[in-house]
Structure 1
Amino acid sequence: MTPADLVRDWVSAFNHANADELAELYHEDACNHQVAEVEVTGKEQIRAMFAREFADAEMVCIIENLFEDGDWAILEWRDPQGLRGCGFFEVIDGKIQNQRGYWDKLSFLRQQGLPLPTE
């Protein structure tokens, strides 16, 4: 499976709000760093992060562009309400080892009707 294929599977699991299926795509010691959030390390912690996020908000990832370069896949995405972002996935031995995501947290919170930061 190529890194781009794995990211397509990731998008499918994400769009089904399936935290367990998403977690299975990561190495045990994987790192997920959404730059607007604290870095999350470890497959179980990543699963818990997705479970919390899916409980808090309705999220959909629509692929705009998907590029591949060696062990990396680069995903440019949008959601139905116009939020846009980009994710970088390092895939080693068929699993995600590192993931970084860039998106506008303030716009996301407003869009979802979630509390805004006070600091």
Structure 2
Amino acid sequence: MIRLTVLYNLPPETDEEEFLAWRLGEHQESNMSMPGVIASSFYRIYGTWTGDPPPYRFMTTVDWPDRESFGRGFFDPHVQAKLRDDVQRIRDAVFLISEELASGSVSESRE
């Protein structure tokens, strides 16, 4: 599995309620409609293990089954054009692309 993780903040002048309405509606639908996407989640970051303020306020993850489908979906010219517009709503964005090497669940580890 390939996962795109985006960590970000909002510009100070942003109405957070308005942003959340867009992010949980239109933008979530847009993420899920990218070619090959199998899952997309959105998170509000509320802390760090050290207790320090987190450097980012929000996180989005988007998953594809493999590198080929990720490349076709994420780098599609229409997706990239929309992304250029969408990133205008956020600031300090970090885009991480990772490949899953292992996974598990609590139920699997207790069997």
The reply to whether TM is greater than 0.5 is no
Higher strand share: 1
Question: Rg: which structure is higher?
Answer: 2
Higher helix share: 2
TM (norm. structure 2) is 0.27
Flag the structure with more relative contact order, 1 or 2, with Cα contacts below 8 A and sequence separation at least 6: 2
TM (norm. structure 1) is 0.26
